[in-house]
Each structure stands twice: as C-alpha cells, then as structure tokens.
Amino acid sequence: MLPLSSLQPISHPIFTQHKITVQVKRDDQIHHIISGNKWRKLKYNLLQAQTNGAKGIITFGGSYSNHIHACAFACQQQKLPVIGIIRGEAKNQDNYTLLWAKYWGMQLSFVDRKTYRQRGEQVYLQALQKQYPEHLIIPEGGSNQLALPGVAEIINELNQQADFDTLITPVGSGGTLAGLIVGDKNQHNLLGIAVLKQQGYLENSVQALLPISAKNANNWRILNDYHLGGYAKFSPQDANKIREFSRVVGIDFEPVYSGKMILALLALIESGYFPAHHRIVILHTGGLQGLGGLIERGILMPNEWPSLPELTAQ
C-alpha cells in the first residue's frame, strides 16, 4: 500500500519578498529506495505484471539511472526477474547505481548508443519481446500508460491536503507530467521544468502518453530554458545554489532533476512570473541516489551533500 506523502511548507527570503507561498510534496519520503515518481510509475506496471503472470520485466536506462535503481529493488521485492538494458559499457557495472541493481538481482545487458536509440521503435521492441516472451517491457524512466494512474494519485492526495494554484515538477521522460495532467482534470496550473535540451520533444512525449480524455487539457506547459546545459549538466555554481537552498529550507535536492526545478522556481519568482499570494506546490520526485554517482565521478564532494550517508546505509 502506497503511503500518503506529506505536504511540507517551506520558507525562504525570496518567497517572503514576493509574497509567494511554497509547499513541497515529499514524494522523496515514500520509500528509502523506491522514492518519488519511480514508485508512482512502477506501481501499476508491476501490478499488471503480477496479474498477467509475467515471467519477468525488461526495462531501459543509463548507467546512473534512478529508474534502473528503483526497478531492480522493486522487482526483487516482488520476486520478479528483471533485465536492465543499459546504455553504456560493461566497465560501468560496478558503479554506485549498477552495483546496487546487480545486488538486487537485475541482469544487466549493455548496448551501444546506436542500439539504445532504438528502444522506442516497434521493430526493436517486437524482436525483444520474441526473445523474452511473457516479459513485460517497461520503457525508459518507467513512462508509459500504466504509469499514469499511479502519478495521478498525487493530485487526489494534494486535494485532500491543501488548496494551491500551481504544481511544479521536473520533466525527464514525460510520464510524471502526463500522470499529473490526467489526475488534475484542469483544476490547477501544471508547470514542467525540462531537465534536458529539447525542442518540442518532451511536449510530444507527454501528448503521446495522454489518453484521449486528457489530450485537450490546456492547463500545462513545459519550460525549456532551465536545463543548465543539458541532461545531468550543471556548473559548480549551480550545485552551490541548490545546496544552499537545501540548507535554508531543510530538504535535500539533487542537481540533475529536482535541483533544476528549484533553480527554475527561484528565477521565475524573481522575474515576477507568479503574482503575489500565489500558492505553489513543488513535487519532490526523489532521485537522491543519483548523488552517489556524481560523488563517485568527482563531480560533487561527499562532505557537501549530507544525503549520501543515508543512501550508502541502505
């Protein structure tokens, strides 16, 4: 049973200056490993696999993927064999993320970038399904139609917890925003912050995921100017700003997904994007395990990110 994640008010001088109210939907606290949107998106995928008597799961991700990390543990808990098709080389198999995935029983299959780009093509997927019959194929990031009802439950929870005007989420593969659109039914403004460079790609991905009943929703948009240079890219100055914000509000954010949302939020408030007395909820989609890989590669320093000791104790 999925626990109700809390809604936590946060204070910051910029919020006070602009008379903005901000609360954080703490989906990062749902589970110490399968946190945030990964639990939400996997919930009904794994339920379907169990209902249909699937022999296993096949899914996709990069060498430091939050989805791969979460899916490996979730499948181990459900006693479901799982194969991870990983973009990259086998030399990465003992990195922070993949070492845990292997520990939880995921079979890793490394492919080059050309092969990985075929992950959404029907011919490739049909061949994969033929090779692994009776396996459920879950796309990269867990974003498919089965992911939407799990994410939509966030709106039901929020409607019980508070009144708000705008809900903000980072956007990577599009499934979280699509699920929020389905659940919201045009009640609130939904704002996605793209974490990768793209020109209409994510908007198209979200539209493709939406059921017919939600395709005409007009209460959402994706902002594409806050990716900080591309997926998983950020400067030391960006990381410092995110860390300082985390210190002020007492909640940890990481610089690949949730941190980019935070920097976008601050920039938008400072620019006057939101009117005074606007009520904002930001969705913390988890992903703090990603700090392990960033520290492992020397991109971040371990003493500056206190979340990591909790993660290594899992």
Q: Which residues pair with 171 in a beta bridge?
A: 194
Q: Which fold has domain 37-142?
A: Rossmann fold (3.40.50)
DSSP state of 134: T
Per-residue confidence (pLDDT) for residue 133, from 0 to 100: 94
> CA 96 → CA 18, 88, 311, distances in Å?
40, 15, 10
Per-residue pLDDT of the chain (314 residues; tens, 9 = 90+): 556 899 999 999 999 999 999 999 999 999 989 988 999 999 999 999 999 999 999 999 999 999 999 999 999 999 999 999 999 999 989 999 999 999 999 999 999 999 999 999 999 999 999 999 999 999 999 999 999 999 999 999 999 999 999 999 999 999 999 999 999 999 999 999 999 998 778 999 999 999 999 999 999 999 999 999 999 899 999 999 999 999 999 999 999 999 999 999 999 999 999 999 999 999 999 999 999 999 999 999 888 776 554 444 34
| Region(s) of the chain under CATH 3.40.50.1100 | 7-33+146-309, 37-142
pTM for the model stands at 0.95
- The contacts of residue 220 (CB under 8 Å, 6+ apart) are 177, 180, 181, 189, 190, 191, 192, 206
Backbone angles phi, psi at 25, to 5 degrees: -80, 110
**What is the domain class of 7-33+146-309 according to CATH?**
alpha beta
307/8 Cα distance (integer angstroms):
18
Per-residue confidence (pLDDT) for residue 35, from 0 to 100: 84
